[in-house]
Amino acid sequence: MSNATDREVSRGTWAAVASFVLWGVMPLYWHALKSVPSLSIVLQRIVWSAVFVGAFLVWRDGRGWLRGVLAQPRLRKMLAASGALIAFNWGLYIWAVNAGHVVETALGYFINPLLNVLIGVVFLRERLRPLQWLSVAIAGVGVLWLAFNYGRLPWIALALAASFALYGLIRKLAAVDSVSGLGVEGAYLFLPALAMLAWQAGHGGIGFEQGAWIGGLLVLSGIVTALPLVGFAYAVRRVPLTTVGLMQYIAPTIQFLLGVFVFHEAFDGTRLAGFALIWIALALFAGEGVLRATAAGANKVAQSD
């Protein structure tokens, strides 16, 4: 592997870590907007992220940035599909957070990396090493334990996991840079979201009537939305999807801690056992990666001597 490729993988890895940390603390942001209906929040999230990303792309590439992507029919369809998936994911997530289901959203994002690993192996022909297989198996047992002991079908978790896993696959295959892809997704969603907001504004308000603080948070939701998505899309084109899949446990771990210790949602010993298995799996996967990287570095030094 060349030094340039090493740098690209390293940058992709750090972009993924930053994105997952931001996603992990996101419940705090949406909870601050709890007084605004969930549909209004997600519609404004779509509109303002489209505005900010579109403005950046015009500044960077000029007014013709959209034509190059839309001139490719296959890419156009892929980004329409990924836009629909991320809009569904956002809506369900915001509703679940403000309805008191932060721990279940964390479960969804614990399941999601397993789906990414499965997709990477089955569809992208990525290979796992033995210890990686072991960590995936342990994480799978933890997720099954949580699902069967949850008391009901965790449909919120399953829907969040599936929608974001499919989103990651499409963005992995779409031959477009991360910001432009997000800009096209926003362009598809912008007018429908704006029309629904206009209707809501005439039937009870959209949050700005609650004051400058709430209005400011709604506007900034565009930046809060765009940054981790750009980082994630940047990462999945430079880092194997199996690796990204296991790194995604960072976000739900933070969400879980917020759900239990900040929002005081119910959490007992049965659920703790399931989460513990997942954390053990993550530690194995990360430890194997560190040991392998250390060994590779030592081999390079030995070869250069």
Per-residue pLDDT of the chain (305 residues; tens, 9 = 90+): 456 577 888 888 889 999 999 999 999 999 999 999 999 999 999 999 999 999 888 988 888 888 888 888 899 999 999 999 999 999 999 999 999 999 889 888 877 777 777 788 888 788 888 888 888 888 888 878 877 877 777 889 889 988 988 998 898 888 888 788 889 999 999 999 999 999 988 887 788 888 899 999 999 999 898 888 888 878 887 887 667 767 777 888 899 899 999 999 888 888 888 888 888 887 887 777 777 767 766 666 666 66
Query: Which uninterrupted H or E stretch holds 195?
Result: helix 178-201
- Say how far apart CA 104 and CA 97 lie, in whole Å: 9
- Say how far apart CA 98 and CA 281 lie, in whole Å: 30
In contact, 182 and 133? CB cutoff 8 Å = no
- Say how far apart CA 147 and CA 107 lie, in whole Å: 9
**Residue 202 DSSP class:** T
**Residue 64 DSSP class:** T
Number of folded domains that form the chain: 1
pLDDT of residue 1: 47
- Per the rule left: phi > 0, alpha: psi between -120 and 50, beta: everything else, 36 is beta
- Say how far apart CA 242 and CA 132 lie, in whole Å: 9
Domain with 31, as residue range(s), is 3-304
Residues 6+ apart with CB under 8 A from 213: none
In contact, 242 and 132? CB cutoff 8 Å = yes
pLDDT of residue 303: 66
Residue for token pair 């974001």: 164
pLDDT of residue 300: 64
User: What is the sign, positive or negative, of the torsion defined by CA atoms of 29, 97, 161, 206?
Assistant: negative
Residue for token pair 């997720």: 143
3-state secondary structure of 36: coil
pTM over 0.85: no
